[in-house]
Every structure is written in structure tokens, then in C-alpha cells.
Amino acid sequence: MKRAALYSMLAVVAILILQGLWIFQMRRWYVADFVTHTQEAFGKAIEQEVGIRSSRIVDPQNKWYVSKPKSSMSADEIEQNKGDTLDFTALQKSGAAVSLSDLVSQISQDSYFKQGKPPVLRKVDSLFVLAMGSESVPRHRIVLCREGVLQDCFGAEELTTSSPRVITLVKPVGTAGIYSMMLIMKRPSSAVLKRMLYAVLASLTLGLLVVLVLNYQLVVIRRRTETLKRREVGINGTIHDLKSPLAGVTTMMGWLAGKAQAAETRELIQQGTEQLRALSNSVEALLASNYDGAYNIILNRTKTDLPALLQEVIDNVSLYFIQKPHHIEVVNRLADNRVPVDGRYMKTVLYNLIGNALKYSDDGVEVTVTLETPGDGKHLRLSVADTGWGIRPRYRRKLFHNYYRVPREESRQRPGYGIGLMYTAYIVHAHGGKIKVVSRENAGSTFILTIPI
């Protein structure tokens, strides 16, 4: 639950950060688009203003213009068209003229500056507002400069190039590069946000929806977790309560075995007792799995005849798999058959390992159980090798995890709950030992456990 809540919170934070970055980037795009539109409107206003002045002034010189690449003109054409020569390419690079109509307008500006008739900034401002169209025009100021020195201005006087959060656009006026007109405008926060309104609202709505969905999922997960915890407590209590009657019945079966006269009756009672012990072990395995490592096994380590215990397990397991052809071989290299282990739990380990060797294999499987005390003789080494189906490498690391079952094709599915190997490892660790598996797919597996003795 805590991990799910953490992941959900991280997801919400990531979504909000991405939403913020997206809004920030959208704002940058809108501002850039606004600046481009403003620049075009400002240039258009300047051009229209000089056009209005030209319509009111009759030029007695009757000027005319020729636009042609100089490299394609003959000497006679150059001689016939003497006059002021302008480099249109250079003017384009400087921003003084972006088109031929703009060039004609700038030439007109040169003429009017010579006559002492500069642009009328109030008129430029009106034309600029009209050129902006439906855009909301922020507070602004238009300044006319000669070689960087202020000549005239109109608009919000508090705005300067050093004012915070302003946009400054400079447009050369005339072709000589002496005069320039400057537009100083407050950054269009409200205008940009107005254009982004629907996108921002949609983004915020989506973010809120995601947060609500995640919150709902967390609530559902929390409720289900609480239900599962209550159910787990009830199941654990029920399983735990089964131990006492099972122990009582096992004791009673032992008493009956002592009273029985017939050998056949005693054998049947013994078989029943073994089944009860197996059931008791299953109950304890369930408790160990449900407590997830918090269940304590109380060992009773005594000198146990391990080969005899092993043979008893083999007889019982072989009886269970009587319909399956198999062969189990015991290799006993013990110097002393009596080993200090908990006989009851060690029997469970042998049941699980040998039972799995027969369960996950084809007919005719061969199982070899080896008992030895290698080296200094201070450790018991028990291995169970088979010629069964084997285990793929990627499944081995989870083999001893709680409720884990190796994925297999449908024809090789066998009943089980993924508890046996977990409980086996639990018992080995309780003895202070270790367990590992060596396996190759379709070539068999070998389970090796080492216990200090």
C-alpha cells in the first residue's frame, strides 16, 4: 500500500511537472508568435504613415525608380539611369527594407527627412493599433531616434528599454541608417494567457482528472488491503487453531498403535499417523508463508538416523507415485548415520525435494539422493538430483520465493501452490544452513543444501 501510494504520488508530481513545462513552452511559442505579429504590424504602420504623407504632398521633382541587378545592366543603361544608387541586398540584411515596396517607402522617408518632415508618431501609433487587428495591444511607447539620440516619442512615458518585462523592436527609418523608430511594449502576459485559455483549462482539467482517478485508485487499494489484512488475520488464526487438534489426534494415534495387537492394524495406524504429520507440516508451511518470514520454527535437534529417515520418506513418496515409473538411488557417504538435525522438519525437506523431483518429470525419471559430510566433516551436505524437466535460468532466482511457481506449458502443469520450496528453504535456514539449485532445462535439476552439524 505504501509503495502504491508513493508511486501514485510520483506519477501525480510527474504529470503536474509535465503540465507546467508544457504551459511554459506554449507561452514561449505564443510570445514568439505575438512578437512576430507585432513586428509586422509596426513595419506596416510606418509604411502606411509615409504613404499617407506622400498622398498629401506633391513631389515637384517627379522621381522615378529603376530596380534591376547591376550585373545585368549595360554601360548605356547605367549612364541613362544615373542618380542615387542603393544596395537592396545590404538594406535587406540590415532590416531597412524587406521588399521593393518597403524600399520605395524608405526612399520617401529619406526625402522627407531632408525636407525636415519626420514621421508623425501619433499617426504611426494609430495605424499600429489598427494593424494589430483583434489582438489586445499592451501599453507601449514609440520613439524616434537619430543615431541613437532621442528625437521624439509618443505613448507610455514610463516605459524605457531598461524597464522590466518589456519587448523592444527597432525599425530603421530611411536608407541612410541614421534614423530609427523603436517600439517599447510591455510583455503581453494577459494577451498570451487569453490565447492559451482553452489549452490551459483543458490541461488543468486533465491533470485534475488524473489526480482524482489516482486518488480513487488509492482509496480502492487501501480498502482492499484492509480487507485482505482482516482476512489474513482470520485465516492465520484458523490455521493456527488447527495445530492443536492435529497434535492431539497424532498423539491419540500413537496411543492406539501401542494398544493394537495385530501387525496389520499397527501398520495402518502408522500410515494414518504419517498422513497426520504431513497435514501438520502443511499447516505449518501455510503459517510460515502467511507470516512472510516472521514465523519462528522451534527446532528439536537430536541425533537422527538420516539414512533410515530418508528410506522412510522414499517408501512413502514411492507409494504416492506408484503409477509413475521411476527409480530412486541413495548414495550414503556419511561416516556416522546419526546426524544432529530436527528429524520431523528434515523429513518435510526430503518429502518436498524428492516429491518435486518425481512430480516435475516424465516417466522413467531417475532420482539420486546423496548424503555426505565433505571436508572437515562439520557440515551435512544433502543433494537431490533428478533427470526431470529442469528450470530455465531466469526462473531460478525466484524459486524459493513465497507462492512462486515456475511457468510451464499447459501439458506440464501440476497442482501446487508455490509453498513447498519456500518452506524447505525456511527449514534449512532455521538449521543455520543454505540451499541452492543447479539446473538445465530438459536435463534435470540438483537441489543442494548444506547444514552445520
What confidence tier does 101 reach under pLDDT thresholds 50, 70, 90? confident
Q: Which of 261, 290, 319 is the last residue of a domain?
A: 290
62 and 121 together in one domain: yes
CA distance 169 to 28: 17
Asked if residue 326 lies in contact with residue 358, where contact means CB atoms within 8 angstroms, the answer is yes
Asked if residue 176 lies in contact with residue 110, where contact means CB atoms within 8 angstroms, the answer is yes
CA distances from 30 to 27, 124, 190, 204, 205 (A): 5, 25, 11, 18, 21
What is the CB neighbour count within 10 angstroms for residue 332? 12
Greater model confidence, 381 or 375: 381
pLDDT score, position 256: 78
Backbone dihedral region of 297: left (phi > 0), alpha (psi from -120 to 50 degrees) or beta?
beta
Asked if residue 449 lies in contact with residue 349, where contact means CB atoms within 8 angstroms, the answer is yes
61-70: average pLDDT: 57
Asked if residue 337 lies in contact with residue 377, where contact means CB atoms within 8 angstroms, the answer is no
74 and 156 together in one domain: yes
Q: Residue 138 carries which DSSP code?
A: P
Report the DSSP beta bridge partners of residue 143: 153, 182
113 and 154 together in one domain: yes
327 and 273 together in one domain: no
The top-scoring range by mean pLDDT among 61-75, 163-177, 222-236, 433-447 is: 433-447
Q: Show the CA angle centred on residue 88, arms to residues 83 and 94, nearest 5°.
A: 125
179-186 and 166-173 as β-strands: parallel, antiparallel, unpaired?
Answer: antiparallel
Which stretch of 95-104, 165-174, 319-328 has the lowest confidence by average pLDDT?
A: 95-104
276 and 357 together in one domain: no
268 and 332 together in one domain: no
* pLDDT > 70 in the chain, percent: 83
pLDDT score, position 451: 95
What confidence tier does 210 reach under pLDDT thresholds 50, 70, 90? confident
Closest Cα to residue 136, out of 195, 49, 196? Answer: 195
Asked if residue 329 lies in contact with residue 366, where contact means CB atoms within 8 angstroms, the answer is yes
167 and 237 together in one domain: no
Residue 78 has pLDDT above 70, yes or no: no
178 and 249 together in one domain: no
How many helices (H) and strands (E) the chain has is answered by 12, 11
**AA letter at 385:** A
Question: Which SS3 state, helix, strand or coil, does residue 367 take?
Answer: strand
Q: Which of 274, 290, 306 is the last residue of a domain?
A: 290
Residue 438 belongs to what domain range?
297-452
189 and 202 together in one domain: no
Torsion of CA 365, 366, 371, 372, to 10 degrees: -130
Q: At what angle do helices 343-359 and 306-320 cross, to 10 degrees?
A: 40
Q: What is the DSSP string of 267-286?
A: HHHHHHHHHHHHHHHHHHHH
C-alpha cell recorded at residue 318: 514411492
Question: How many structural domains compose the chain?
Answer: 3
On the CB side of 4, CA atoms within 13 Å amount to: 13
CB proximity list for 359: less than 8 A, separation 6 or greater:
321, 414, 416
254 and 395 together in one domain: no
Asked if residue 170 lies in contact with residue 180, where contact means CB atoms within 8 angstroms, the answer is yes
Report the DSSP beta bridge partners of residue 179: 146, 173
pLDDT score, position 237: 65
Question: Which SS3 state, helix, strand or coil, does residue 292 take?
Answer: coil
148 and 205 together in one domain: no
The model's pTM: 0.50
CA distance 135 to 246: 87
Q: Show the CA angle centred on residue 191, arms to residues 190 and 193, nearest 5°.
A: 65
